[in-house]
Structure 1
Amino acid sequence: MKLALILNVIDPKIGGVMIMGDRGTGKSTTIRALADLLPEMQVVANDPFNSDPTDPELMSEEVRTRVKNGEVLPVSSKKIPMVDLPLGATEDRVCGTIDIEKALTEGVKAFEPGLLAKANRGILYVDEVNLLDDHLVDVLLDSAASGWNTVEREGISISHPARFILVGSGNPEEGELRPQLLDRFGMHAQIGTVKDPRLRVQIVSQRSTFDENPASFRKDYEAGQMALTSRIVDARKLLKQGEVNYDFRVKISQICSDLNVDGIRGDIVTNRAAKALAAFEGRTEVTPEDIYRVIPLCLRHRLRKDPLAEIDDGDRVRETFKQVFGME
């Protein structure tokens, strides 16, 4: 789970993480803790969509127009945002709304940005994603596929970039995810309850220490957190130099083919995740061990053909990997 989250921060194009597991296993806690590790990014100052000052693909229409007019954009830094999408959120709250009255009386496009605008270039976290209303699932699927959010009301249409890392968590006992949404998550991690009594005691004692003095507890782990953040920042820079050699790429695609994985998304995500892992460990060359570590996370949720079947725990993926790569 932690590896999948870190790799997505290094390369957001991996496509997010779906984390399923038992109640009380720390899924939400771990995901929310990720906010502390997020590095800073450059944004256009006072822009509600976190527009990138240099990449036109990540600019809102308004910012793009300002660039075309030769305006020098004011730039500021902010932490990569992490936005919670509550289960009871309305479509207007998620997508944003157009102030029709202002548009008609003053002739301007008065747009009130929603959660998708806030999450642009950041992380959108949906707890209990398997209980999300179908119409909101459709909105998320549409935005995740196109990278843009379009709001249309009374003949007025406004679009803005909505590129976010989609992170979801849920308990499989409470209901399964729609296959279309499950396929949208780049990686899938399954979390079980810890069985080792010593580890359980350690978790309980750490929780007690935190409850008694949260500030002191945070201070104890501050150096480790900062070291991890700097590793992530370095990995993001190194990622562009990363390379998966042709032979390994063919083998990754052969594994996907042997496992009868639908579409090409599994191949793409595995290649990206392996490069991100190599970068995280300070390397540009991807090794078979990198692929072995990430491939179960990338493919296990793509194997299920029968909607009633359980998601594979990764063993089938590992076995196929060993056959294709000739490893024991």
Structure 2
Amino acid sequence: MLYPFTAIVGQDEMKLALLLNAINPSVGGVLIEGEKGTAKSTAVRALANLLPPMETGATAMTVVELPINATEDRVVGSINLEKALQDGVKAFEPGILHAAHQNILYVDEVNLLDDHIVDILLDVAAMGVNTVEREGVSHSHPSRFILVGTMNPEEGDLRPQLLDRFGLSVMVYGEHDPAQRMEVIKRRLAFGDDPVSFVASYAESERALHERLLQARELLPSIIPTDEVLLKIASISIGVGVDGHRPDITMMHTARAHAAFHGRHQITESDLKIAARLALKHRLRRLPFEEQGHDEDRIDTVVTAVLEG
């Protein structure tokens, strides 16, 4: 019995990032940073129960977890060369990326994963295809999934090059409002005492959000950014000083998803503000010992100047 997504108290930015990436997987994945016990894994597992299949006719979505100690062959799959050479067949043995197709690929403690494995995951997430090559023998298969990584920054950081490859990033904290914190305890007690009744009490809110996601996915293709919107996105990226063009493209995909989530046919300033916060914070260059908390202020200042300019 899974804890309902709509029963999670607070953590609005985390929940929104997950939903936007689910609406538009081209966003490129979500990295959730935060201390233990902040509903990171709960939200990821609850998301799968909430989502429609990624493609029409696909089976119900599941969460495929990637172990920290997974080898490259375990992740991408392997080819039985002896069988391939002797029998003339590819003899492909599927890996985690095969199982992840049409599902959520969840990497807990992604900062502890080997950098080479993270690179592979992010490459496949971007291309939607996994290719395995061994001694001149190759095999490819579709691997389109919703990528979610979680980590506790106290246990180590991701290299900036890898951070940049995640579309969105959010930081989560424990609730500091006593009333909210009390509500977390009450709901957890209710779920533990009678999970069936607790889940049933959120059935309507889960159904409503499921329908909203379906409608957003249907609306998404019709939301075409205007040149004015694209110019604002480019100006925001230049203003905050991020490298490369990936931030611009991610902001565009995120703004489209946010507009679709709110039933809009055009991207608005509010969509751009949300997209900038989610897509740029982890890509900002920082001075030594500079606190991450200043990032939102820097982004908001630039976004306001661009939108009012």
Deviation at 1:158, TM superposition (A): 1.3
Aligned partners of 1:310 and 1:126: how far apart in 2?
26
Instruction: Check the 8 A contact 1:11/1:276 in 2, yes or no.
Output: yes
SS at match of 2:303: helix
Structure 1 counterpart of 2:47 = 34
SS at match of 2:202: helix
Instruction: Check the 8 A contact 2:65/2:105 in 1, yes or no.
Output: yes
What letter corresponds to residue 12 of structure 1 in structure 2?
P
Distance 1:276 1:41, change over 3 A: closer
What letter corresponds to residue 46 of structure 2 in structure 1?
A
Aligned partners of 1:298 and 1:84: how far apart in 2?
24
Instruction: Check the 8 A contact 2:163/2:282 in 1, yes or no.
Output: yes
2:276 pairs, out of 280, 285, 295, with 295
- After the TM superposition, which residues 197-212 of structure 1 pair with which residues of structure 2 at under 5 Å, given as runs? 197-212=178-193
Instruction: Check the 8 A contact 1:41/1:77 in 2, yes or no.
Output: yes
Aligned partners of 2:234 and 2:60: how far apart in 1?
36
Instruction: Check the 8 A contact 2:49/2:61 in 1, yes or no.
Output: no
Matched, 1:19 2:32: yes
What letter corresponds to residue 32 of structure 1 in structure 2?
R
Structure 2 counterpart of 1:63 = none
- Unpaired runs of 5+ residues, structure 1, are 44-75
Matched, 1:268 2:249: yes
Deviation at 1:307, TM superposition (A): 7.8
2:206 pairs, out of 216, 222, 225, with 225
Structure 1 counterpart of 2:305 = 323
Aligned partners of 1:142 and 1:242: how far apart in 2?
26
Deviation at 1:197, TM superposition (A): 0.9
1:192 pairs, out of 173, 195, 202, with 173
Deviations 1:209-238 (A, max 9, x none): 111111111111111111111110111000
SS at match of 1:293: helix
Matched, 1:180 2:181: no
SS at match of 1:184: coil
Matched, 1:166 2:179: no
Structure 1 counterpart of 2:7 = none
- Unpaired runs of 5+ residues, structure 2, are 1-13
Aligned partners of 1:309 and 1:176: how far apart in 2?
15
Structure 1 counterpart of 2:216 = 235
Instruction: Check the 8 A contact 1:97/1:151 in 2, yes or no.
Output: yes
Aligned partners of 1:132 and 1:83: how far apart in 2?
16
1:256 pairs, out of 224, 237, 240, with 237
SS at match of 1:40: coil
Instruction: Check the 8 A contact 2:68/2:113 in 1, yes or no.
Output: yes
What letter corresponds to residue 307 of structure 2 in structure 1?
F
Aligned partners of 2:129 and 2:44: how far apart in 1?
24
What letter corresponds to residue 196 of structure 1 in structure 2?
D
Aligned partners of 2:270 and 2:132: how far apart in 1?
45
Matched, 1:6 2:22: no
Instruction: Check the 8 A contact 1:292/1:318 in 2, yes or no.
Output: yes
Aligned partners of 1:181 and 1:81: how far apart in 2?
25
What RMSD, in angstroms, separates the aligned Cα atoms of the two structures? 1.9
Aligned partners of 2:145 and 2:55: how far apart in 1?
16
Moved more, 8-17 or 141-150: 141-150
1:280 pairs, out of 240, 256, 261, with 261
Report how many aligned residue pairs link the two structures.
Answer: 295
Deviation at 1:95, TM superposition (A): 0.7
Aligned partners of 2:149 and 2:160: how far apart in 1?
14
Deviation at 1:23, TM superposition (A): 1.6
What letter corresponds to residue 152 of structure 1 in structure 2?
E
Instruction: Check the 8 A contact 1:190/1:313 in 2, yes or no.
Output: no
Instruction: Check the 8 A contact 2:49/2:62 in 1, yes or no.
Output: no
SS at match of 2:176: coil
SS at match of 2:38: coil
Aligned partners of 1:16 and 1:8: how far apart in 2?
6
Aligned partners of 1:213 and 1:261: how far apart in 2?
48
Aligned partners of 2:48 and 2:256: how far apart in 1?
23
Structure 1 counterpart of 2:132 = 151
SS at match of 2:149: strand
SS at match of 2:285: coil
SS at match of 2:150: strand
Distance 1:118 1:307, change over 3 A: farther
What letter corresponds to residue 256 of structure 2 in structure 1?
K
Moved more, 308-317 or 96-105: 308-317
Aligned partners of 1:113 and 1:105: how far apart in 2?
20
Distance 1:257 1:147, change over 3 A: same
Structure 1 counterpart of 2:58 = 77
SS at match of 2:174: coil
